[in-house]
Every structure is written in C-alpha cells, then in structure tokens.
Amino acid sequence: MKLNFLFITLLTVSFLSCGTKISTPKGETNIEIPCSGPDFESSKSFIRSSSEGLSNNTKGAVLSAEKTAVRKLQDKIQLLIKSVGETYESNIIDGQRASYSETVDNISRTISKGVLSNVKTICSKTTQNNQTSLYKHYTCIEISSEILIKKVEENLSKEARLDIESNRNKFRKIFNEELNKQR
C-alpha cells in the first residue's frame, strides 16, 4: 500500500513538473495573429516591425500594412538611435555636447529613412473576411542591427568634429545595451 502511494505521488510530481498546458477559459477561443508573436519581435540581431492593413482589394491591404510597418520600424530606429545618443552623450566633454546632440538627431532621421533598402520582409499573409469580403494583410519586416550600427557609424564618422573613431567600441557597446532594452 505504501509502495502504491509512493509510486502515485512520484508519478503525479513528475507529471506536474513537466509543465501544464494553460487552457482557454470557457466561451473564449484562442486566436493566432499571423506575422506576430515571439518569433516576430525585435532581438539582439534584428529590429522588427509587424503590422496589418485592411482594404476592399488585396493591393490596398498590402500597401497599407507595408506602409504602417515601415513607419513603425522608422520610429523604432529613431528611438533607438536617440536613446544610444543620449547615453553616449554623457561621455562627451561639455563643450562638444550640444553639437553632438544636434548631429545625433539629424542622423537618426536620415538613417531611419535611408535604411529602407536593407529592410527584409520575413512574413506576409493575406486573408479575406467571409462576411465583409474585406482583405486583411499581415506583414513583418526586419533590419539587421549590424547593418544599422554600421550606418550610424558611417554617418557619425562623416562628422569630423565628433571624433567618434576613438570611442567606436564604447558606442557599439551602448548600442547593443539599448537594443537589448528594446526587447
């Protein structure tokens, strides 16, 4: 009898330790949204943006989703570069700080617009609502964080008065720290 109790207890503990599946409450249905979720979020290696677009034709839905995804990606890039710039700015001598801050603002706008040729679509799916006949397009785009930092370094290097060459490794370290915060 004790052996059966011990066996059942061990079996129960081992079953529960394997993990339990979280069930959906009654009356609700799980919905999986295309091109979204953990596989489509920004990471250390890529900055990603997902979006959806709705239209009465497929082309309009695709264009709407892509335009919104690009805008969201540009916003993420600008925010990331400004955040890196503000952190890096604290390491600059006071007399150069204002010049650096203005340059980073200009560079963040320039780069967010200029990197679009390096953007890659990693997910694209179009659906049609059976009741309304409207098309919905889902998309997710990404840019390599390595390409992005190289573009930032190129643009900052053009600014001779900033002399970022000597601090390139520190800038890269701050960039990677800020990228990890974006997750």
Q: How far apart are CA 54 and CA 64, in angstroms?
A: 7
Q: Kindly give the confidence (pLDDT) of every residue in the chain, 183 residues in length, as a single tens digit, with 9 standing for 90 and above.
A: 443 433 343 334 334 344 456 788 888 888 889 999 999 999 989 999 999 999 999 999 999 999 999 999 999 988 888 877 777 666 655 555 555 556 666 666 677 777 778 899 999 999 999 999 999 999 999 999 998 888 877 776 665 455 554 466 667 777 777 777 766
CA dihedral 70, 75, 79, 85 (to 10 degrees): 70
How many whole angstroms separate alpha carbon 99 and alpha carbon 37? 40
Query: Does residue 115 come out as left (phi exceeding 0), alpha (psi in the -120 to 50 range) or beta?
Result: alpha
Query: Contact, 42 vs 183, CB < 8 A?
Result: yes
- Alpha-carbon Rg for the chain in angstroms: 24
What's the pTM? 0.70
Q: Which long-range contacts (CB under 8 A, 24 or more apart) does 101-110 make?
A: 103/156, 103/159, 103/162, 107/81, 107/152, 107/155, 107/156, 108/77, 108/78, 108/81, 108/82, 109/78, 110/155
3-state helix, strand, coil in the chain (%, to 5): 60, 15, 25
